[in-house]
């Protein structure tokens, strides 16, 4: 290998089955959308805001699942000359837009719940209990389907929201029972606000995760300092700088760095040792390393938060 050549490693340890995940998402869309329609009809007929809000969440989930399924199909396409990393990040983009749509849904639920608290309306408690119980069963089925669809951001976010739907169905079931036995109508909008809070919590988590990936932040389970220090400990390495770690998509982590050597002739051994260490210790397999005998810090590297024991994005043994 020529001294100034970059060493490119494109071995992906995380083998993701986009086809399987997409199929699970499509099945989930059918179940969720079908019952959302039932809940809308039942909620309007019974006058239950808890049921309508849960149906709205399920409709939002149906749209989110549909976008996720489409993104999974796009992500399965091979890399092209214009998109050399492939299309896996389509799943992250879909998750980002899904979270924005859910934020709009939350606003609608909260506004309607407040209006219902100020102006109570009668609710058919028995009908609410029946439909909410059926919704609970549907959500359990959907959760099982998604649980078999893999661990990508689409499937995980969808599963998280389905679990929120489970609690939403429990809330509607509780509201129906309270109204049926006590006639206390405020329980319906109160539990609607609880459902909105659950949606908000999951939405913020999803939005933050998607933005972190899109901004190419260091994966939350990794420490830039730990990775750099372990690289600098490799026999023959003098220092490491311009270290960057980011998530491509679906848990596929990429790393690039400049590695300063004492002797360029040792580079093949150092490369093999570094690859092995990154895989075994951190699960990083998509690696681009540039060997150097004289470190030259880029301006971008110098702007990164200083890493001990030296300033700048440079780590030495």
Residue that has been written with the tokens 């359990």 in this structure: 140
Residue that has been written with the tokens 């849904």 in this structure: 105
pLDDT score, position 12: 38
Report the CATH number of the 218-316 domain: 3.30.70.1350
> Residue 125 pairs with which residues in a beta bridge?
none
pLDDT score, position 53: 67
CA angle 300, 302, 303 (to 5 degrees): 65
Residue that has been written with the tokens 């970059």 in this structure: 6
Q: What is the C-alpha to C-alpha distance for residues 54 and 46, in angstroms, rounded to an integer?
A: 14
Q: Which residues contact 132 (CB under 8 A, 6 or more apart)?
A: 50, 51, 54, 169, 170, 172, 173, 175, 176
Residue-by-residue pLDDT tens, the chain, 317 positions: 443 344 443 333 333 445 556 778 888 888 888 878 877 887 778 777 666 766 776 777 787 788 878 888 888 888 888 988 888 888 888 888 878 877 887 888 899 889 888 887 776 667 777 777 887 888 888 888 887 766 677 777 777 777 777 777 788 888 888 888 888 888 888 988 888 887 888 789 888 988 999 999 999 999 999 999 999 999 999 889 999 999 987 778 999 999 999 889 999 999 999 999 999 999 998 999 999 987 766 655 554 544 444 444 456 55
pLDDT score, position 18: 53
- Residue 4 DSSP label: T
pLDDT score, position 277: 96
- Measured CA to CA in angstroms, residue 17 lies from 30, 74, 79, 315 at distances of 21, 13, 16, 37
pLDDT score, position 30: 86
Q: Which residues contact 208 (CB under 8 A, 6 or more apart)?
A: none
* CATH class of this structure's domain 18-214: mainly alpha
Neighbours of 170 (CB within 10 A): 19
Give yes or no for a contact between 307 and 228, defined as CB atoms under 8 angstroms apart: yes
Question: What are the residue ranges spanned by the domains of the chain?
Answer: 18-214, 218-316
What does the DSSP assignment read for 174-213? Answer: HHHHHHHHH--TTHHHHHHHHHHHHHHHHHHHHHHHHHHH
């Amino acid at each position: 290998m020529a001294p100034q050549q970059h060493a490119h490693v494109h071995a992906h340890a995380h083998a993701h089955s986009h086809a399987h995940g997409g199929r699970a998402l499509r099945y989930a869309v059918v179940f969720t959308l079908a019952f959302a329609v039932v809940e809308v009809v039942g909620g309007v007929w019974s006058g239950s805001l808890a049921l309508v809000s849960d149906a709205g969440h399920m409709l939002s989930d149906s749209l989110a699942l549909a976008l996720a399924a489409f993104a999974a199909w796009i992500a399965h396409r091979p890399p092209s000359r214009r998109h050399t990393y492939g299309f896996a990040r389509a799943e992250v983009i879909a998750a980002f837009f899904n979270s924005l749509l859910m934020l709009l849904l939350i606003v609608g639920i909260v506004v309607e719940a407040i209006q219902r608290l100020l102006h109570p309306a009668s609710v058919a408690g028995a009908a609410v209990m029946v439909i909410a119980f059926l919704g609970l069963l549907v959500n359990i089925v959907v959760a099982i389907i998604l649980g078999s669809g893999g661990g990508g951001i689409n499937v995980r976010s969808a599963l998280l929201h389905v679990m929120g739907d489970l609690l939403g169905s429990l809330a509607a079931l509780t509201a129906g029972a309270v109204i049926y036995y006590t006639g206390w109508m405020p329980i319906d909008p109160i539990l609607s606000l609880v459902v909105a809070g659950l949606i908000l919590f999951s939405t913020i988590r999803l939005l933050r995760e998607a933005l972190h990936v899109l901004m190419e932040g260091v994966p939350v389970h990794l420490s830039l300092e730990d990775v750099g220090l372990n690289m600098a400990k490799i026999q023959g390495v003098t220092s490491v700088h311009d270290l960057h770690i980011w998530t491509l998509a679906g848990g596929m982590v990429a790393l690039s760095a400049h590695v300063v050597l004492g002797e360029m002739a040792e580079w093949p051994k150092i490369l093999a040792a570094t690859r092995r260490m990154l895989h075994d210790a951190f699960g990083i397999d998509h690696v681009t390393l540039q060997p150097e005998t004289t470190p030259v810090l880029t301006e971008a590297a110098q702007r990164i938060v200083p890493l001990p024991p030296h300033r700048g994005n440079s780590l030495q043994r």
